[in-house]
Amino acid sequence: MLNKDSKLVEDMFAKDIAQKPTRDGFGAGTVEAGKKDANVVVLCADLKESTRAEWFEKEFPDRFIEVGVAEQNMATVAAGMAAVGKRPFIASYAAFSPGRNYEQIRTTIALNRQPVVIAGMHAGVSVGPDGATHQMLEDIGMMRMLPGMNVIVPGDAEEARKAVVAAATCESPTYIRFGRTATPVFTTPETPFSFGKALPLWESDAPKVAILSTGALSYEALVAARALAADGIEVSVLHNPSVKPLDEVAIMASAKKAGRVITLEEHQAAGGFGGAVAELLGMSYPVPVVRLGVQDAFGQSGTPEELLAHYGLSAQGITAAVRRMLGVH
Amino acid sequence: MLETKAEEIRETILDMLVQAGSGHTAGPLGMSDLFAAFYFHILKHDPKNPDWEERDRLILSNGHTVPVRYSAMAHAGYFPVEECLTLRKFGSRLQGHPERDRLPGLETTSGPLGSGLSQAAGIALALKMDGKKNRTYVMMSDGEQQEGNIWEAVLFAAKYGLGNLTAVMDRNNIQIDGLTEDVMPLDSLKEKYEAFGWHVLEIDGHNIEAFVEACDEAKAVVEKPTLIIARTIPGKGVPDIEGDYTWHGKPPSKEEAARFVKELRSGAGRVPHEYA
């Protein structure tokens, strides 16, 4: 059943549940952070509409910096601005930032310890028709390997807003991953959020499988959990917006209670969130783990629904994975 | 006086490279006059208060030449000159390539080429937004002009009219694989930067007076960034290695260094060796 303490939306499974892309949370969050702190600046590489950076530009035109199609420059200019007290957010598609400017992020932001926030938009296959070049599937892995880098993958636009506001006061650099497509807003302003904390969405007294998810797919996991419960298969769903730092306590507790784990992310199944969970459990509490994600492949054109279904990441794919793991059909 | 400081900086560079057993020799020796001018005349700074808010910022983009910066900083009083001998050693604040976090007075972490100009541009823009008067200087190499990131930054600095930014290019014509004009031709850099909207000055990088004057002229150009192309001789001060690109990335042996120091002290042969 839905976890009451997480203060989720009332009409969770209504057909007309509000839907917004998580990138809207970037626009709203930067405006909010900008009002709180005059040092917040937003840099964009010729994608201000689709990244929602223009929401900030409208409010604070003097603190919006358009660098043109130059992601390497965007990262390094931001590192320089942070060095003299600014709180820069850099916005582009994840395929280009951190995809193209990874070395600049590594040296001038991470190693240089500047509190720049890297906002990677249009991540995952749900970008849709644009195809593989724009469907970034390696960013969580790249970024979580950088020492001192926080990695946040919000589950919906509301949580994304909170993540952006929180990142604006964080002393270490942060990567936040956003999606293009509108997805259900399942959290509320009252839902707790902080770096390093997971959010229990669905609980059971005797779960057979713990589904550990990150990003907007957590809603798909919820839909799957409800469908499985109707068939008498109990699971738990733990949403992990914070991939780094990972909520090790909550993940261990979920794994211990269920004895089996399925991880879920719109990313390569290797190296990302599932990889982080497997690293933790392999060391501290080995249980069977199935990692759902894209299995060593690139994306392709299609609708977001078609693509999520194809890669086994929709609610249906998740229920099938649970049944396979339990050997029930 | 500045010339004397440059010679002290050079001698310490040789000492530290011998101790380290690895590192870059030609570039740091070639840039010593520029760094003597920076730390003993041009920069507004306080060695006893490296985080002083009103300091000018000096960004070193080509981080592999950091021995010249460490040496100049030590002679300026940031830390004891003896600490220079810890260069590249385990536990040292003087990392092989500079890390801001480890040594007060470094403004950035650098080494991978081509990203110093854009960081300097970010610093200059932020200072300008806040109405601050500090100047931002960035020292870069000629070889790194082959990096795409540089030209993104050149466009950016011109767009934002960063008159508070002075870039200095160590135009020594060498890079690891050979002469720049053989590896990937760069000339004419003056015309290239001018076409991108910069004010450009060319000087002899071993003429300290000319460098100081060029930096003063840059301050007077308020509407656009300035590039000073400083023509230098790699390995300057040691005739044995001057202009030889094979000295880009290796240190002298103990015996070589002893000979090089003699060459330095003899003013490249102008003073008889018995006084050196």
Residue in chain B lying closest to A63 (CA): B129
Q: What is the rounded average pLDDT of the residues A109-115?
A: 97
The rounded Cα A220 to chain-centroid distance in angstroms is 14
pLDDT at residue B270, as a whole number: 67
**Dihedral angle over CA of B142, B148, B151, B157, nearest 10:** -110
Among B35, B115, B18, residue whose Cα is nearest residue B72: B35
Write the CATH number for B134.
Answer: 3.40.50.970
The rounded Cα B142 to chain-centroid distance in angstroms is 11
pLDDT at residue B271, as a whole number: 67
Per DSSP, which regions of B2-41 are E strands?
none
Look-up: residue for tokens 């050997």?
A327
CB contact under 8 A, B129 and A104: no
Q: How many domains does chain B have?
A: 1
- Contacts of residue B175, Cβ cutoff 8 Å, sequence gap at least 6: B141, B142, B143, B183, B245, B248
- CB atoms inside a 10 Å sphere around CB A189: 9
Domain extent, residue B243, equals 2-275
Give the bridge partners for A242, in sequence order: A152
Report percent pLDDT > 70 for chain A: 100
- Where in chain A is CATH 3.40.50.970? 19-184
Q: How far is CA A229 from CA A184, A205, A206, in A?
A: 21, 12, 11
Cβ–Cβ under 8 Å, residues B171 and B229 = yes
CATH of A4-8+193-326, one of 2.130.10.10, 3.30.1490.20, 3.40.190.10, 3.40.50.920: 3.40.50.920
| Per-residue confidence band for B166, with pLDDT thresholds at 50, 70 and 90 | very high
Question: CB-based contact (8 Å) between A38 and chain B?
Answer: no
Give DSSP secondary structure letters for A87-109: EEEEEEETTTTTTTSHHHIIIII
Q: Say how many Å lie between the first and final Cα of chain B, rounded.
A: 18
Residues A11-64: tens digit of each pLDDT: 999 999 999 999 999 999 999 999 999 999 999 999 999 999 999 999 999 999
Residues B227-272: tens digit of each pLDDT: 999 999 999 999 999 999 899 889 999 999 999 999 998 876 666 6
Q: How far is CA A80 from CA A86, A139, A320, B50, B58, in A?
A: 9, 23, 49, 17, 12
pTM (2 decimals)?
Answer: 0.95
Burial A128-151 (b: 16+ CB within 10 A, else e): beeeeebbbbbbbbbbbebeebbb
pLDDT at residue A329, as a whole number: 78
Question: CB-based contact (8 Å) between B144 and chain A?
Answer: no
d(CA A122, CA A298): 15
pLDDT at residue B267, as a whole number: 75
Interface test with B, best of A73, A87, A89 (most B CBs within 10 A): A73
| CATH no. for A19-184 | 3.40.50.970
pLDDT at residue B275, as a whole number: 55
Interface test with A, best of B95, B108, B151 (most A CBs within 10 A): B108
8-state DSSP, B252: P
- Where in chain A is CATH 3.40.50.920? 4-8+193-326
pLDDT at residue A192, as a whole number: 98
E strand or H helix that includes residue A121: strand A117-121
Q: What is the rounded average pLDDT of the residues A239-252?
A: 98
For chain B, positions 82-111, list CB contacts with chain A under 8 A: 99-101, 107-111
pLDDT at residue B268, as a whole number: 63
Count of CA atoms in the C-beta half-sphere (13 A) of A87: 20
Look-up: residue for tokens 């000159």?
B81
Burial A276-313 (b: 16+ CB within 10 A, else e): bbbebbeeeeeeebbbbbbeeeebeebebeebbeebbb
Q: What is the rounded average pLDDT of the residues B22-40?
A: 96
B140, pLDDT greater than 80: yes
pLDDT at residue B65, as a whole number: 96
Cβ–Cβ under 8 Å, residues A10 and A166 = no
Q: What is the rounded average pLDDT of the residues A303-323?
A: 98
Which residue from A62, A76, A84 is facing B126, i.e. has the nearest CB?
A: A84
How near does any CA of chain B get to the CA of A150, in Å?
Answer: 19
pLDDT at residue B266, as a whole number: 83
State residue A147 phi and psi, 5-degree precision.
-55, 135
How near does any CA of chain A get to the CA of B158, in Å?
Answer: 11
Residues B44-96: tens digit of each pLDDT: 999 999 999 999 999 999 999 999 999 999 999 999 999 999 999 999 999 99
d(CA A94, CA A106): 15
- State both tokens at B46: 């306080």
pLDDT at residue A277, as a whole number: 98
CB contact under 8 A, A80 and B108: yes
Q: What is the rounded average pLDDT of the residues A248-268?
A: 98
Among A51, A14, A303, A45, residue whose Cα is nearest residue A185: A14
pLDDT at residue B273, as a whole number: 55
| Per-residue confidence band for A150, with pLDDT thresholds at 50, 70 and 90 | very high
